[in-house]
């Protein structure tokens, strides 16, 4: 009931009683003040609920089989960076993850839309010198590709043997490093020729791969991220990814951007931004609605594929069997 209605007993205003009318008006104003105060508290509560719904959705994720994942124009560019840097995270003195403060939620503006091979089950994506390098998955369909950025045409391709389900991809020191899902095997290729030079092994599953210029950074579908020596493939360290003290798993495709690890959360429209020193989540990007419904068909799969052009400050995002590659600019959700 509105406060004005509560101040009028039986719906009648006693115009014949000036004192009662004065009291009534005072009660009305008091009621209105209480109403607006409550409304402001309500809206603040609604915003907090919205933030924690997104956080709760990310935190509730549990690992499951990747074989059949759930189905899931130019904008006004500005001079702002496409990815805004986060403040330095706080890490406890014993080197473990500190309790996380509330982190920002980001959304996006689409800067430009480019074609992408609808048949590509994108597992890894890297921008390099005006082209894209892409790892595609599925047994019998996995490949390593060099792709024209503007047209989406495949310029070079090497097929991966059918027993392997290819996964994440990284470029370091003139070589391409490609993971596989369940075979505990990775491949090293010459960057120019795509000639396979050797194989390497790792325990567990392979999901996403990126590099900070020194280490290979690898996800395995859990909340763990490993840092590997690119020469020996020895694990040097690992971090546990936490948001508000809770683990965030299903970490998939990775990209190292401005000192942060961007990780696609498999099966969702979310990308988490991770501090590589502590594992703390410092932001969440919500890509809901990025691929329009009219561009989807029965084979369209989930968001997966992040690439960054450091020199041009451009961020590219796509998905598995998506017909579009999106150049986006991030902005904090208000």
pLDDT, one tens digit per residue, over 12-37 is 333 344 444 344 444 444 444 454 44
Distance CA 152, CA 131 (A): 9
- Torsion sign across C-alpha atoms 284, 205, 239, 63: positive
Tens digit of each residue's pLDDT (9 = 90 or more) over 291-305? 999 999 999 999 999
Burial per residue of 253-275, b for 16 or more beta-carbon CB atoms within 10 angstroms, e otherwise? bbbbbeebbbbbbbbbbbbbbbb
- Torsion sign across C-alpha atoms 260, 305, 205, 217: negative
Is there a contact between 122 and 134 (Cβ–Cβ < 8 Å)?
yes
pTM score, whole prediction: 0.75
Around Cβ 224, how many Cβ atoms within 10 Å?
17
Q: What is the pLDDT of residue 48?
A: 42
Tens digit of each residue's pLDDT (9 = 90 or more) over 228-262? 999 999 999 999 999 999 999 999 999 999 999 99
Is there a contact between 112 and 74 (Cβ–Cβ < 8 Å)?
yes
Q: Alpha carbon 277 to chain centroid distance?
A: 19
CATH 2.130.10.10 residue ranges for the chain: 105-332
What is the band of 308 on the pLDDT scale with cuts at 50, 70, 90?
Answer: very high
What is the band of 5 on the pLDDT scale with cuts at 50, 70, 90?
Answer: very low
Give CATH for domain 105-332.
2.130.10.10
Distance CA 201, CA 65 (A): 21
What is the band of 334 on the pLDDT scale with cuts at 50, 70, 90?
Answer: confident
CA 128 → CA 189, 219, 311, 318, distances in Å? 15, 22, 10, 16
Burial per residue of 277-305, b for 16 or more beta-carbon CB atoms within 10 angstroms, e otherwise? ebbbbbbbbbbeebbeeeebeeebbbbbb
Tens digit of each residue's pLDDT (9 = 90 or more) over 253-291? 999 999 999 999 999 999 999 999 999 999 999 999 999
CA 218 → CA 54, 115, 182, 200, distances in Å? 25, 28, 14, 13
For residue 279, give the nearest of 96, 139, 112, 152 by alpha carbon.
Answer: 96
Instruction: Say yes or no to pLDDT of 186 above 50.
Output: yes
């Amino acid at each position: 009931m509105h406060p004005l209605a509560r101040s009028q007993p039986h719906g009648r205003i006693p115009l014949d009683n000036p004192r009662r009318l004065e009291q009534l008006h005072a009660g009305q104003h008091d009621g209105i003040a209480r109403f607006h105060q409550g409304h402001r508290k309500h809206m603040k509560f609604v915003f907090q609920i919205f933030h924690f719904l997104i956080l709760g959705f990310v935190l509730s994720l549990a690992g499951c089989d990747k074989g059949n994942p759930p189905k899931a124009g130019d904008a006004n560019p500005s001079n702002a960076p496409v990815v805004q840097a986060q403040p330095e995270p706080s890490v406890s003195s014993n080197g473990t993850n500190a309790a996380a403060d509330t982190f920002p939620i980001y959304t996006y503006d689409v800067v430009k839309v480019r074609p992408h091979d609808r048949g590509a089950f994108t597992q890894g994506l890297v921008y390099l010198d005006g082209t894209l390098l892409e790892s595609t998955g599925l047994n019998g369909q996995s490949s390593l590709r060099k792709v024209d950025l503007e047209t989406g045409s495949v310029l070079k391709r090497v097929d991966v043997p059918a027993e392997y389900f290819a996964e994440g991809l990284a470029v370091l020191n003139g070589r391409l490093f490609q993971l596989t899902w369940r075979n505990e095997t990775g491949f090293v290729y010459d960057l120019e020729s795509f000639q396979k030079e050797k194989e390497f092994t790792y325990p567990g599953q392979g999901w996403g791969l990126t590099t900070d210029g020194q280490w290979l950074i690898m996800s395995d579908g859990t909340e763990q991220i490993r840092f590997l020596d690119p020469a020996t493939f020895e694990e040097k360290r690992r971090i546990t990814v936490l948001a508000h003290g809770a683990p965030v798993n299903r970490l998939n495709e990775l990209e190292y951007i401005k000192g942060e690890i961007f990780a696609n959360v498999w099966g969702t429209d979310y990308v988490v931004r991770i501090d590589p020193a502590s594992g703390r989540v410092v932001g969440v990007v919500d890509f809901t609605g990025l691929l329009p419904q009219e561009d989807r068909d029965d084979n369209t799969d989930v968001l997966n594929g992040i690439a960054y052009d450091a020199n041009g400050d451009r961020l590219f995002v796509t998905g598995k069997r998506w017909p579009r590659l999106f150049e986006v600019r991030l902005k904090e959700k208000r």
